[in-house]
Amino acid sequence: MTTVFADPFYFIALLSPADEAHERAVAFTQKFSGSLLTTAWVLTEVADGLADARAREKFIEFYDRLRVRNDVTIVPCGEELFGRGIELFRRRLDKEWSLTDCISFVVMQRENLVESLTGDHHFEQAGFVALLK
């Protein structure tokens, strides 16, 4: 079974009909039969993006459904992974990669993943495939 990394770009597009990438995210979701891997940091960023009082419930419902799915793995926060993300962030001062991106890249490398559900060009800079471009 194919596993792809799910970035905040994907989740926010999926949950936000007005998002310019919404249709691409929905189309991918409808045809994809593999599994998703994401991180607690990614979900924190999604929650931050949906922190408005009108959207908070949407995130909570989404999170509750996501965490019980057998085809979704959520990598938990941990000091070792956070430290590795900080080290990548520190080494790449020439990039505008967020810390969440750096942690995502570390996880993707560790899990031998190449494809990410994102439209973020930072993933391409890091050598990954952005499936929602």
User: Measuring CA to CA, how many Å separate 59 from each of 20, 66, 124?
Assistant: 19, 10, 27
The CATH classification number of 3-130 equals: 3.40.50.1010
The pLDDT assigned to 1 comes to 73
Percent of the chain topping pLDDT 70: 100
Statement: residue 8 has pLDDT above 80: yes
Average of per-residue pLDDT across 62-75: 97
> pLDDT tens-digit profile of 77-127?
999 999 999 999 999 999 999 999 999 999 999 999 999 999 999 999 999
Check pLDDT > 80 for residue 7: yes
Measured distance CA(84)–CA(97) in Å, rounded: 14
Residues 56-71 have a mean pLDDT of 96
| 109 to 38, 52, 61, 66, 127: CA distances (angstroms) | 13, 33, 30, 23, 10
In the chain, DSSP finds a helix count (H) and a strand count (E) of 7, 5
What pLDDT, on the 0 to 100 scale, is given for residue 120? 96
| DSSP letters for 26-64 | HHHHHH--SEEEEEHHHHHHHHHHT-STTTHHHHHHHHH
Give 83's contacts (C-beta < 8 A, 6+ positions apart). none
Higher-pLDDT residue of 54 and 61 is: 61
Element holding 123 (H helix, E strand): helix 121-125
Determine the pLDDT at residue 64. 98
pLDDT of residue 69: 96
Where do the domains of the chain lie? 3-130
Which whole number is the average pLDDT over 51-76? 95
**CA nearest neighbour of 12 among 58, 53, 57, 54:** 58
At 3, which amino acid appears?
A: T
